[in-house]
Chains A and B, each alone.
Chain A
Amino acid sequence: MSRNVDAIVIGGGIHGCSTTLHLCLAGLKPVLIEKDYAGRHASGVNAGGVRQLARHIPEIPLSIRSMGIWEKISELVDDDCSFESYGQVLVAEDEEELAACRTRVAELNGLGFTHEELIDAAELQRLVPAVADTCPGGVVSRRDGAANPAQTTTAFRRKAQQLGATVREGVAATNIRYINGLWHADVGSESFAAPVLVNAAGAWAGRIAAALGEPVPVETVAPMLMITSRVPHFIDPVVILRGRKLSFKQFKNGTVLIGGGHLATPYQDRNETVLDWKSLAISARTVFELFPVMRSATIVRAWAGIEAKMKDDIPVFGPSSRHKGLYHQFGFSLHGFQLGPGAGAVMAELIVNGGTQTRISDLGIDRFHPSTL
């Protein structure tokens, strides 16, 4: 016998947890199924960037929606998630890069988006005094910041549970099927049934979509990060580079997180990744050049989280193009963390109200499968 619930959410990353929480807020009783534990993969071990800066245009409305939630995150989950907002700065290392920044900001302004602001060398030096003074400027998104990803994902899971969500961790959802108007999924010896199924399974979501007849061009990737020992405080905003793969963030405790998207080799079925130190060395060289103050810091740990990357680098978000009651929320392509709170809110609106005010029309799975319903 299946236990009837209002929705089955598969995947305990920031997205699955946020959708589960928002469904609870809308008065539904969902079940969240996570094969490991909430935040085990990319959602718990990413760089924690809360960034509207430098996003693909189709996902900017979702990112802006999310930012509003981030700024009141404590009210939503009773936990500050270590969210802090010192802005994110994109650094142009030469005039050519600065020209590209100028074009980008003008394009956004033309579309009515004002969160990205072009800055000159003087403002860059003011915001990031430690950066090499040869950099001519860049772009700032002043409301952006960073949070602790594991703390955040855990807080969403905890709050959802407090509001009545059923949470199953440590056992994968299997035998997902649609019978007589209900979605069913098995979890060990248990079975759940609901009119709604949300596929938020991160790196594992592509397999679920394919098994349900909606294959998409997705690959599993594992972006690497490394963290240093404590160094004296020298930087507030998160810094990313226009031309090279680097993101850079100093925490309150002095440690510095270095990322930027160099990839490890994922072994998805073993929950393992093998790091590529020669690529991490490239990040180290970039930091060495741009931030001389970091040269004597030590690297204490490096890691990578497993996640899904779409061929076109934008997520699959919205209703299925084939099945009633099925919703997809995956493929965030290395930039899904900030979107989590907003995406959960929008997903709950789609499920409960059948629509949303937030523009998400370019993110649907039907961009790969023209609708057949």
Chain B
Amino acid sequence: MTVAPEREDYDVVVIGAGPAGLATAATSAEAGLATLLLDENIGPGGQVFRAISSTPVTDRTQLGADYWVGADLVQSLRASSAEVIHRATVWSLDRNLDIAVSVGGASAFVKAKRVILATGALERPFPIPGWTLPGVMTAGAAQTMLKSSALVPDGRTVIAGQGPLLWLLAAQILRLGGRIDRILDTTERGNYFAALPHAFAFLTSPYFAKGLSMMREVKAKVQVVSGVTELSASGEGQLASVSYVAGGKRETIATDLLLLHQGVVPNVNLAMSAGVEHRWDDLQLCWSPVLDASGNSSVPGIAIAGDGAGIGGANAAVVRGRIAARAAVEALAPKAAAKLPAMATLRADLAKAERGRLFLDTLFRPAPQFRIPSGETIVCRCEEVTVKDVLDSVAIGATGPNQLKAYRRTGMGPCQGRLCGLTVTELMAQARGKTPQEIGYYRLRAPVKPITLAELAAVPKSESDVKAVVRG
């Protein structure tokens, strides 16, 4: 059942019920703050712990112990006094901390003293030739189906790309009896050397042993081609084959399903639309919000926790959530903060959780040719804009993503740039010989998720209108 928020004003509104949001809301509510947790999914967990309360995959070894950590977080949230609303789409947040949220087809407005964004990550665009064909999907989408419905591929399946999630997904598909014909690993050979200086921290991090055993498990059952330097999908209206180059040799294989993944990046749309300052992260190759040590952003009252604050993984997300919640408690109810773990303890926990991240970021830094496509490859799916279209516009004076809108409408479709934004920034930066920071990003505006005209038309009238009616 979906219901509107109980109140108009809250101490803390947390947006997103993944690892960070669950920890944030539980901590904030336990400390006695009036806390509202808004989440878009049908149940808690976000992406990492998706369907944690409802998954049909009950054999705990299949999804792995890391997944089931989510159950404890949900437990503590449920034990707290936080108000939790699922299927709630926050479509506007501004610097006055006014929030517009759609629940069950009706929109409501709430106001917060503090907003903590835990909107997590998105998969990085993977714009290869043919990536828009039916039959090509992201690994994340495949994992969503796996976790919520135990659905795994049974046709000819190729997984291409790199990063921890790719191996995790492959292992999960295999454990559930799904089919994978080949894995095409696009990790650049040079990255192994670049990552080497950070290897010690990684070897002593929790990622190492788990990652290694997972890769072994997958490699025992699937042919893995490493050093893939070119990749394209083709077919007439439907994926038919995947073509790749590895070690200078081209090969084409027939396939029904291609799963693409090259890491995740912060989901910045809501934060950016609220005016939060972001900067280009040269290591993670994405936009990250400018935050202080407690997660506070450039907009007073808005903090960001979890992967939306910069990719750090689920363990770091939980700690970042507790830090942001503690900072909110210190500001709004200082006495209650004494009951929470000390900030120094939390920061030490965070350092531990982030151990090994530098190694992963360096190793899995996606290769330029998979981030910055060329020729007729589509960049913007909503408006079907190709690389060539973008470059032609640059040649006649488009200087950045916002100016490009005037020429090509890139980023103006329903996805609001989620599927093209990073590609457009890096492509224009390369074409103009500038840094991505200099080129900038789309100015994002609400609604960050579309709402129907009918729903907007039905929102409660302004307070003065309501009062006029009451008096009348």
Contacts and interface: CB of A to CB of B under 8 A. Distances in A.
Contacts of B396: 158
Contact of B109 (A227, A274, A277): A277
Given A301-B445, A301-B447, A295 B453 contact: yes
B413 A284 contact: no
A284 B407 CA distance: 28
A368 interface: no
A299 B92 CA distance: 12
Most B C-beta atoms less than 10 A away, residue of A154, A228, A297: A154
Determine the interface band of chain A, counting residues with CB < 8 A from chain B. Answer: 35 or more
A284 B450 CA distance: 14
Nearest to B413: A300
Contacts of B456: 277, 280-281, 284, 299
Interface in A129-160: 148, 150-151, 153-154, 157-158
A371 interface: no
Nearest to B454: A295
Contact of B453 (A150, A294, A303): A294
Nearest to A253: B409
B96 A288 contact: no
A288 B458 CA distance: 10
A229 B450 CA distance: 9
Contacts of A297: 452-453
B275 interface: yes
A277 B92 contact: yes
B123 interface: no
A272 B462 CA distance: 23
B406 A154 contact: yes
B450 A154 contact: no
A37 interface: yes
Contacts of B446: 275, 277, 301-302
B98 to A, nearest CB: 8
A288 B109 CA distance: 21
B150 interface: no
A44 interface: yes
Interface stretch (B124-132, B179-187, B221-229, B397-405): B397-405
B461 A300 contact: no
B94 A148 contact: no
Contacts of B100: 277
Interface in A280-319: 280-282, 284-285, 287-288, 294-303
Contact of A300 (B403, B414, B459): B414
B453 A298 contact: yes
Contacts of B406: 39, 44, 148, 150-151, 153-154
A286 to B, nearest CB: 8
A295 B96 CA distance: 30
A150 B408 CA distance: 11
B439 to A, nearest CB: 12
Contact of B457 (A44, A151, A288): A288
Contact of A37 (B403, B409, B452, B461): B403
Interface string B438-472: 00000001110011111011010110000000000
Nearest to A255: B412
B289 to A, nearest CB: 16
B89 to A, nearest CB: 12
B416 interface: yes
B107 to A, nearest CB: 8
Nearest to B464: A278
A298 B405 contact: no
B347 interface: no
Given A278-B462, A287-B453, A300 B94 contact: no
Most A C-beta atoms less than 10 A away, residue of B109, B451, B452, B461: B452
A297 B453 CA distance: 6
B459 A278 contact: yes
A231 B56 CA distance: 39
B453 A299 contact: yes
B388 interface: no
Nearest to B406: A150
A153 B403 CA distance: 11
Nearest to A251: B409
Contacts of A294: 453
Contacts of B403: 37, 39, 150, 154
A285 B459 CA distance: 9
B111 interface: no
A281 B447 contact: no
A281 B407 contact: no
Interface in B391-429: 396-397, 399-400, 402-403, 405-407, 409, 412-414, 416
Given A227-B412, A272-B275, 5 more contacts: A158-B396, A275-B94, A278-B109, A281-B457, A301-B446
Interface of A: 37, 39-40, 44, 148, 150-151, 153-154, 157-158, 169, 227-229, 253, 270, 272, 274-275, 277-282, 284-285, 287-288, 294-303
Interface of B: 92, 94-96, 100, 109, 275, 396-397, 399-400, 402-403, 405-407, 409, 412-414, 416, 445-447, 450-454, 456-457, 459, 461-462
30 contacts: A37-B400, A37-B403, A39-B403, A40-B402, A44-B406, A148-B406, A154-B406, A157-B397, A227-B412, A274-B95, A274-B96, A275-B445, A277-B100, A277-B446, A278-B461, A281-B456, A281-B457, A281-B461, A295-B453, A295-B457, A296-B454, A297-B452, A297-B453, A298-B453, A299-B450, A300-B414, A300-B450, A301-B412, A302-B446, A303-B445
